[in-house]
Every structure is written in C-alpha cells, then in structure tokens.
Chains A and B, each alone.
Chain A
C-alpha cells in the first residue's frame, strides 16, 4: 500500500507581484520501507517539497494523502498532530535544545504526544541506545561531538515510531567520517523496515538511497530506482 501520495501538487508564492511556482504539478507515490533521495539545485523546489511531505506546509492546490489522511485540507493543529505521530525530522543543523540533556531532547516529541514521564524516559533511553548513545544520555548538546548531536537528533526523530524519517542534508554540517557513520545509521534503519526520505545535493549521499528523484524548476525531471 502506498504510504504517501502527492497528486498534482502546486505551491505558488507571490513575491513582489510576481508568481513563483515552487512546486509546479508534482505527482509522486512513496511506499512503505522505501529509501528515497530528493535531489536538485537550490531553487529547484527541493525544500518546498520536503516541507510539503513533512506536513509543515500545505499545497496551493492538489491532493496529498498520508496513510489515508487528507493532509491538504488540514488546519494547524491537525498538521502538528500528524507531524508528531508520523514524521521524524532530522535537520542539517541538528536543532537540539541547547539547555536540555540528550535524554530530555529525545523526550520532547513524547511530551507533545502526552505520554507519561516514566514511559517517556523508557522510550527515549531506548531510542538513544538504538543510535549508540546509551552512555551520553545526560550530556548537553555542547558536550557532544557533531556526529553525536546528529545521532541524538535521529533518536528524537525515531522515538515516536514515525511512519517516515525525513532528513534534510543530514550530513551537511559533519566531517566525512561522522557523515559516513550517520549514513550507516540510516542504512540500518532502512533495513529494519523504516521509510527514509533524504533531501540532499550530494551524489555520494544520494547513493545510499534506493530511489532518487530530481527536481528542477518545481517539476520532477527524473525518478530512478535501484536494487
């Protein structure tokens, strides 16, 4: 069954009286346990596409179905709820809360899901263990290396057992060794049955994915699958 279905999606901005088509009629279907990379030069609509899939934004027109839910007609609260339940974000700049420990950072999505404290700690500890940070749980982000920070962010994305993990240039701020480790984690997560969507402009990173789509001027110009 298809997990995500974008049907004739347009996103049109009005910049200084001029119409900008960030997404210009996009159709795509993403299935469960896919490993997808979205590529494209800057200004191609890559970010808009990621925001759209991540339910941070709604289309100007078109139909977006996420596991049978109609995202294109959702209001702010419904979007927040679907992001909380079904999407795990990993950002280029990690975006951890600086004053909170690794464990507390991973707990946040569970707080918004209204899960009790004991259960939260249990789930967050497990997520941190899964990314190999069981001995760094009480460290603050500034006491962790870049790679470790990104791993905390991945644990935070995973902790709610989301339907997709959406990673925006996840290795962009890392050295190549740490980047390699992070990509290893994504590969593992995929082999465990998770659905992963990478947004990147680096071919080396996109190589990890099993399917690559390329965007240009808001349109999908290429969609390649690999074994």
Chain B
C-alpha cells in the first residue's frame, strides 16, 4: 500500500504542476483562507503583547480612584457634578487603610517643555514620593524626589526617556535645567524606556514633578486621581476597604450612591477582550468563507479533472486498479492542491509577519500555523471526496470507450 501512496503522490504533484494556471486559480481560496487565519493570529498575538505591556504600566494591583469610570456610559455632566478628589485624602487613606501599600495623587495636564532651543508639547504629572510604587517603570538614571522636596515645593523633575533623547541626546541630563511652561525645573532623574500605551501615546514623553510645585505653579484646578497600590493577592479586599474609606470621607449615607469610581485594569481587560473577540470573529468569518469558496472551487476542478481523465481511469482499471485505488488517487490530488495552497499561504503569512513585526511587535503563532495546514488538508479531503468517489465508480468498459 505504501508504494501506491507514493505513486499517487507523484501523480498528484505531476498533475498539479501540469495544470499550473488552473491549480493556482483553484487554490487561491485556500491560500487566502490560510493567510487570513494566520495573519489574524499574528495580529492578536501582537495586540496581546502590547496590551500586556500597557497593563503592566497601569498595574494590576493598582486601584485608580477618580471622578469618572473607565469605559462607562456615564453622562459628562454627571461626572462633572461629582466632587473633586482632594490631596488631603492621601493622608487619610494611608492612616485608615491596612491594605494600601502606597497612595499617590496624580494631577495631569498638558504643558510645553523646553531646553535651550528645543521645545515639545507633552503631558506633565504632579504627584508625591509614592508615585514610583504605583507605576511599573523604574528610574534609569538619577533619583526620584523626596517627601521634603514635595512639601517644600522644590522645582525638580523626573523626565521620561523620550524627553532625554529629544533634549540631551548623548549628554547627561542630571543637574540640567529645563523649562516647563517657562518655569525652570532641575532634572534629577530619568525614567526607563516604556513604549506606547495601547499604541496611542508615548509614556516616554512625560515629566513628573512634585505635587507641591505643580499646585503652586500650575493652579490647583484640574483633574486629580488617586492611585493606591494594594497587595496583588488582596485586590478585591483592598477595593472594598478603599471604597468604604472613600464613602466615610465623603460622608455618604448607606442609601446614597458613591460619587466616585474606583478603576482597575480589569476594565481594560474586558474592553480588550471584546475587541479581541471582534477581530477574531471577523477573521474567523473571512477564513470560513474563503475556505468554503475555495473548497467549492476545488470540488469543481476535480469534477473537471475526473471528466477529462475518464479514459485514463478506464485504462487504470483495466490493468488492475481497484475502486479504492482510483478513489485514493483523486482524493490525494485534491489534498495535494490544498496542501500546497496551504503551505504557500503560510509562507506568505510568515514573510508578512516578519515585516509586520518591524512595525508592530508580533509573532506568527506556531500552533495556529499547524492548525491552518491541518485545515487545508481537511478541506482537500472534504471537497475531493465526491469527485474521487465518482471516479472510482466509473464503469471500466464505458470509460475505455470514452473519447
């Protein structure tokens, strides 16, 4: 049986290459099917990676207390009517909470940064000495500011890696002065390179300064959030406790709704999963559709092949081919077209993924690659079966007479 298998395979390859144009056109559906499923996988792998990075920046063990709720459909006026968060809460949460490991207020606004003749627009953050605990980034060079510096309103700043590159190139930025909205700040530290958050804005182009100085220079108005770090295995307990403390601080009656929101990266995760599901679903649908169309094409071409080679089938039967051998020959031919198409699709996907990786870090998932080949073979078997069965059942006498 083994030699027959190879003989069939040889015949199939020969027949596929003998009708090049026809084979290519027929196989296009399968190529597109494999391409779409593998590229979709590549895309999702890249999204997963960048999402993981972004989430680690926000921190899974960080509770973000704010006036608005992430991804909620709250009306803007409802958010606006909620009372502001105040920096006094920091001390109170520290005193009352047993889960809070670090509490830092974060004020954020846009500002212009300048050094010598260079200038850039970016986001600045006013915060306290606990800030570093609530983000996953580390200090690359220099140091963070101290509590004393915060209280005294020292004009010091920690800049992002991107600012360092843009302003100082190879030079040491520590001890240099940069202008933030025309106010001089001394650079005391540099944050390590972080990348873009969800691909939108670069975390590397930021400047962090003590809240004391931020408030004094840039007014107290603006949005503040509080970032509270809790133990990783006690996130939900921490959430309950902080929520209770906030309600106390706001003097809310048990019947009243909370007038603040405590956000977690979980909110991003569920949003992200919805997005991933949509991409995956669309990709799956395109794949399914092109495979069905491709399969029909292959079935069609196999019917033509069987018709064209009726005489050959008659000869083969006369010299001893059984129905099963004829069936396996034509089935093999359909599978070969699909397999070659699948491999071509995979090759194109692989080459594309190399280029995609340069723009958007991602990899072609190996499991999915194998799956796509198995799927191609499956399409070959399904679409080749009926024509092959028809071929196997041809009457040898009629077939020999066929012209």
Q: Which residues of A contact B (CB under 8 A)?
A: 51, 54, 56-57, 76-77, 80-81, 83-85, 89, 91, 95, 97, 99, 108-109, 111-117, 120, 156, 160
Instruction: With both chains docked as a complex, state the minimum distance between the C-beta of A43 and any C-beta of chain B, in angstroms.
Output: 15
Q: Mark B319-332, 1 if CB is under 8 A from A, else 0.
A: 11111110000000
Q: Report Cα–Cα, A101/B283, bound state, in Å.
A: 46
Instruction: With both chains docked as a complex, state the minimum distance between the C-beta of A75 and any C-beta of chain B, in angstroms.
Output: 10
Which A-chain residue is minimally distant from B10 (CB atoms)? A104
Q: Report Cα–Cα, A51/B6, bound state, in Å.
A: 31
Given the known A-B contacts A111-B7, A115-B3, are A97 and B315 also in contact in the complex, defined by CB atoms under 8 Å?
A: yes
- List A contacts of B119 (CB < 8 A): none
A51 engages B397 (CB within 8 Å): yes
- List A contacts of B15 (CB < 8 A): 99
Q: Report Cα–Cα, A109/B4, bound state, in Å.
A: 11
- List B contacts of A160 (CB < 8 A): 320
- List 4 additional contacts besides A89-B319, A99-B14; criterion CB under 8 Å: A77-B322, A111-B7, A112-B322, A114-B3
Given the known A-B contacts A80-B317, A89-B319, are A112 and B400 also in contact in the complex, defined by CB atoms under 8 Å?
A: no
Residue with the greatest number of chain B CB neighbours at <10 A, chosen from A76, A77, A80, A160: A80
Instruction: With both chains docked as a complex, state the minimum distance between the C-beta of B400 and any C-beta of chain A, in angstroms.
Output: 7
Contact among B1, B317, B396 with A114 in the assembled complex (CB-CB below 8 Å): B1
Q: Report Cα–Cα, A77/B396, bound state, in Å.
A: 12
Instruction: With both chains docked as a complex, state the minimum distance between the C-beta of B308 and any C-beta of chain A, in angstroms.
Output: 11
Which 10 A-B pairs give the minimum distances between C-beta atoms?
A: A84-B320, A80-B322, A112-B320, A95-B315, A109-B319, A111-B7, A77-B322, A89-B318, A56-B396, A83-B320
Q: Report Cα–Cα, A114/B397, bound state, in Å.
A: 24
Q: Mark B276-316, 1 if CB is under 8 A from A, else 0.
A: 00000000000000000000000000000000000110111
Q: Report Cα–Cα, A7/B18, bound state, in Å.
A: 48
Given the known A-B contacts A97-B312, A99-B18, are A76 and B7 also in contact in the complex, defined by CB atoms under 8 Å?
A: no
Which B-chain residue is minimally distant from A115 (CB atoms)? B3
Within 8 A of A (CB), among B1-20: 1, 3-4, 6-7, 14-15, 18
Q: Report Cα–Cα, A226/B15, bound state, in Å.
A: 49
Which A-chain residue is minimally distant from B315 (CB atoms)? A95
Residue with the greatest number of chain B CB neighbours at <10 A, chosen from A54, A57, A76, A89: A76
Instruction: With both chains docked as a complex, state the minimum distance between the C-beta of B282 and any C-beta of chain A, in angstroms.
Output: 43
Residue with the greatest number of chain B CB neighbours at <10 A, chosen from A84, A112, A115, A156: A112
A54 engages B3 (CB within 8 Å): no
Contact among A57, A84, A117, A120 with B319 in the assembled complex (CB-CB below 8 Å): A84
B4 engages A76 (CB within 8 Å): no
Instruction: With both chains docked as a complex, state the minimum distance between the C-beta of B398 and any C-beta of chain A, in angstroms.
Output: 10
A-B contact pairs, 26 of them (CB 8 A): A56-B317, A56-B396, A56-B397, A76-B322, A77-B323, A80-B325, A83-B318, A84-B319, A89-B319, A95-B314, A95-B315, A95-B318, A95-B400, A97-B312, A99-B18, A108-B316, A108-B319, A109-B320, A111-B4, A112-B4, A112-B320, A114-B3, A114-B4, A115-B3, A117-B3, A156-B319
Given the known A-B contacts A77-B324, A111-B7, A112-B325, are A91 and B400 also in contact in the complex, defined by CB atoms under 8 Å?
A: yes
The size of the chain B interface, using a CB distance under 8 A, is 25
Which A-chain residue is minimally distant from B309 (CB atoms)? A97
Instruction: With both chains docked as a complex, state the minimum distance between the C-beta of B260 and any C-beta of chain A, in angstroms.
Output: 79
- List B contacts of A76 (CB < 8 A): 322-323
Which B-chain residue is minimally distant from A98 (CB atoms)? B312
Instruction: With both chains docked as a complex, state the minimum distance between the C-beta of A22 and any C-beta of chain B, in angstroms.
Output: 11
Which A-chain residue is minimally distant from B392 (CB atoms)? A76
Given the known A-B contacts A114-B1, A114-B3, A116-B3, are A80 and B397 also in contact in the complex, defined by CB atoms under 8 Å?
A: no
Q: Report Cα–Cα, A142/B258, bound state, in Å.
A: 90
Q: Report Cα–Cα, A156/B315, bound state, in Å.
A: 11
Instruction: With both chains docked as a complex, state the minimum distance between the C-beta of B336 and any C-beta of chain A, in angstroms.
Output: 15
- List A contacts of B315 (CB < 8 A): 91, 95, 97
- List A contacts of B6 (CB < 8 A): 117
A56 engages B18 (CB within 8 Å): no
- List A contacts of B325 (CB < 8 A): 80, 112
- List A contacts of B400 (CB < 8 A): 56, 91, 95
Which B-chain residue is minimally distant from A112 (CB atoms)? B320
- List A contacts of B324 (CB < 8 A): 77
- List B contacts of A97 (CB < 8 A): 312, 315
Which A-chain residue is minimally distant from B6 (CB atoms)? A117
Instruction: With both chains docked as a complex, state the minimum distance between the C-beta of B339 and any C-beta of chain A, in angstroms.
Output: 20
Contact among B1, B7, B321 with A80 in the assembled complex (CB-CB below 8 Å): B321
